[in-house]
Chain A
Amino acid sequence: MSFETEITNGIAVIRVTAGRLDAAIAPELKKKCAGIIDGGTSRIMLDLESVLFMDSSGLGAVISSFKLTGQKGDFVICNMNETVREIFTLTHMDRLFEIYPSTDEGFQKMCA
């Protein structure tokens, strides 16, 4: 399994346990998020602490998941390393997503 999910206080934390969020597992992330949203939770925190590499397919899955949360949902990303951060910077997606250095800070924002 490439992901671990925990739902606390209406917030689903998806921890990517695979070291690479790439074309091989991106469809799994989309499916995971879709399942969580279909289950009634539209507030998602994506924890990328274990992710050492991301490609455009991984980015596409993150964008897709963000879009699925919709206007009434919430989507934040935490624990991004420098290599992954660069993907967001190069595509200017860092202007769109809320990115926090830790899950604690992500929770603070989501619970505010």
Chain B
Amino acid sequence: MDNGKINLSIDSDLHQVQHVGEAVRCLASHLELADAKPSSVELAVVEAINNSIEHAYQLKAGNSVHVSFEYNSNCLNIKISDYGVPMPKSIVGHLSADIGMPSGAVDLDALPESGWGMQLLKSVCDEVSYNRNDSCNTLSLSFKLASVTA
């Protein structure tokens, strides 16, 4: 399989996120993903970009969110980068912990309305990691391709 890399950028505007999401889904549909679906790749990227816009850039437009879509014969690696404030520790924590559905009776008042993004992202990716270097936040997502499990 050929290697490939595509770089995309959008303004930090929530209304622009769908364009990258749809582009990524289309690109992913041309790869033989091992476990994920193209729609899952789209979801993960959208969640990551939303995170950049909402937390790193605090919903201020006029900043850039960069998406790097790179694949080889083994995996698809997507990096979402921004130059905003660091990812809050509470959200970094969601990368390693679940906020999922409590067992037994549900206290509706305590049911979280936010914070599901990282859990969804973790659920559909094979690997997720966060890094901050030189004022740049990077969320790295990895999806195995079918050739790995063959």
Contact = CB atoms under 8 A, between A and B. Distances in A.
B50 interface: yes
Contacts, number: 72
Contacts of A93: 101
A45 B119 CA distance: 27
Interface in B1-51: 14-15, 17-18, 21, 39-40, 42-43, 46-47, 50
A33 to B, nearest CB: 12
A64 to B, nearest CB: 5
Range class of the B interface residue count: 20 to 34
A60 B101 contact: no
Contacts of A67: 108-109, 111, 113
A92 B103 CA distance: 10
DSSP class of B's interface residues: helix, strand, loop or mixed? Answer: helix
Nearest to A71: B108
Interface string A78-92: 000001001100111
A24 B18 contact: yes
Contact of A64 (B40, B113, B120): B113
Interface stretch (A5-13, A35-43, A50-58, A100-108): A50-58
Interface of A: 20, 22-24, 53, 55-57, 59-61, 63-64, 66-67, 83, 86-87, 90-93, 95-96
Nearest to B44: A55
Nearest to B108: A67
Given A24-B18, A61-B113, A91-B100, 17 more contacts: A22-B14, A22-B17, A22-B46, A23-B14, A23-B17, A23-B53, A23-B54, A24-B14, A53-B18, A53-B39, A55-B46, A55-B47, A56-B50, A66-B108, A90-B123, A91-B101, A91-B120
Given A24-B18, A67-B113, A90-B119, A57 B101 contact: no
B130 interface: no
A53 B116 contact: no
Interface of B: 14-15, 17-18, 21, 39-40, 42-43, 46-47, 50, 53-54, 100-101, 106, 108-109, 111-117, 119-120, 123-124
